[in-house]
Amino acid sequence: MLWEARFLLKVQNLVYIFEEGEFIAMKKVAIFITLACVVMISPTVLAQDWQPAGDNWIEKWWGLDLVTETGGFTTSAGVDYLSEGSGGVISNASVSTRDGAGKTANIILKSPTNGALLGWSIVNINVTDQFNISSSHGADGNVIRDVTWHGIIAIISPDDRTTTMHPAHDDHAQIWINGEQVYDNSVWTGGAQSVTTPTEIQLKKGENFLHFKCGESGGADYVNLHFEPTDTDLLIAPTKDNIFLNVLTPVEPKGKLATQWADIKRQ
C-alpha cells in the first residue's frame, strides 16, 4: 500500500505541479491516501479470527517466558518482575494498558531473580491441564516450582459494561485491567476449571487490556479465565491465528514503537 501511495503521489505531483500547482496536488493525494486506507484496511480488521469470549476458557495469551527461581508465590506476589526486569519501562499495571502492552513488542526483560532473559510471545494454555503454567512453556509441571506466569489479552467490547470474570489459578493470582488491579487471591482455586471468586469488572467501549500474573510454589500450577455467557460479543486477542499487537489500533507515534503496531487506523 505504501509503495502504491508513493508512486501515485509522484505521478500526481508531476501532473499537478504543471497544471495547478503543488498545493492542490498535495490535497488530492491526501484525499486519495485516506480513501485507499478506508477501502483496503477495514475488511482486514473485520476478518480477524478473534478468540471467542462468553463463558469459553481463553486459550491464547500474549505471554512472558516464565520467571524462574522466584522463591515461591509468597515472595513473588510482592515483586513487580516486569518493572524490575525492564528498568521501569513497563510494569504489572502498565501492560494492562495499550501503551504498556505495545511496549512488550520491543522489550526483553532481564529477570531480577537470576538474570535470565525473558521475551514475549503467543502462549497456548491447555484449559483442562492442572499443570498448564508449566506446559504452556514446555516445562514438566510435576517437577517445576517457584515460577511466575504472566499473560496479557486484549478484550474489544462493543459498549461500556459491567460483567464478571471467572479466574482459576494455582497458586497466587493477581489481575489488572486497564491499569488498575482488580484481583488479588493467594489461595489456589482447587482445579484448572474451578473458580472460587468470580469478580465484577468494568469494560469500556473499544479496547481493554487484561494482565494475569500467577505465582506458583509447588504441586499443581494452572491459570484460566472466562467471562459471562452473555459476553459472546466480546472479541479477544491474541486471535486464533496468533495475531496480537497487529490487530490493535495504533498508538501515537513514539519512535520505534510505532513500527511494531499495525500502521493502519481502524476507522
Q: Which is nearer to Ca ion, 219 or 253 (CB)?
A: 219
Q: Which is nearer to Ca ion, 42 or 193 (CB)?
A: 193
Question: What single-letter amino acid sits at 264?
Answer: I
CA distances from 264 to 136, 208, 254 (A): 32, 19, 15
For residues 177 and 96, the answer to whether their CB atoms sit within 8 Å is yes
219 binds Ca ion (CB under 5 A): yes
Q: Which is nearer to Ca ion, 64 or 90 (CB)?
A: 64
146 binds Ca ion (CB under 5 A): no
CB of 170 to Ca ion, least distance (A): 4
Cα of 215 vs its chain's centroid, Å = 19
CB of 70 to Ca ion, least distance (A): 12
CB of 35 to Ca ion, least distance (A): 55
CA–CA gap between residue 130 and residue 169 (Å, rounded): 9
CA–CA gap between residue 86 and residue 109 (Å, rounded): 5
What 8-state DSSP symbol labels residue 190? Answer: S
Size of the site for Ca ion (CB under 5 A): 7
Closest by alpha carbon to 251, among 130, 116, 105, 65?
A: 105
State the residue number with the nearest CB to Ca ion: 221
Q: Which is nearer to Ca ion, 59 or 221 (CB)?
A: 221
Binding-site string for Ca ion from residue 178 to residue 217, where x marks contact by CB under 5 A and - marks none? --------------------------------------x-
For residues 248 and 190, the answer to whether their CB atoms sit within 8 Å is no
Q: Which is nearer to Ca ion, 50 or 222 (CB)?
A: 222
In this chain, which of 123, 221, 225, 236 binds Ca ion, going by CB under 5 A?
221
Q: Which is nearer to Ca ion, 100 or 141 (CB)?
A: 141
Binding-site string for Ca ion from residue 6 to residue 45, where x marks contact by CB under 5 A and - marks none? ----------------------------------------
In this chain, which of 171, 213, 222, 237 binds Ca ion, going by CB under 5 A?
171
Q: Which residue has the cell 460483567?
A: 163
Q: Which is nearer to Ca ion, 87 or 219 (CB)?
A: 219
In this chain, which of 59, 146, 170, 231 binds Ca ion, going by CB under 5 A?
170
Q: Which is nearer to Ca ion, 92 or 132 (CB)?
A: 132
In this chain, which of 63, 85, 100, 141 binds Ca ion, going by CB under 5 A?
141
The b/e string for 24-53 (b: 16+ C-beta within 10 A; e otherwise) is: ebeebbeeebeeeeeeebeeeeeebebbbb
CA distances from 191 to 95, 174, 187, 223 (A): 27, 17, 12, 10
Contacts of 92 (CB under 8 A, 6+ apart): 80, 82, 83, 174, 176, 181, 211, 213
What's the distance, Cα to Cα, between the start and end of the chain in Å?
A: 17
CB of 140 to Ca ion, least distance (A): 9
Contacts to Ca ion by CB under 5 A = 141, 144, 170-171, 216, 219, 221
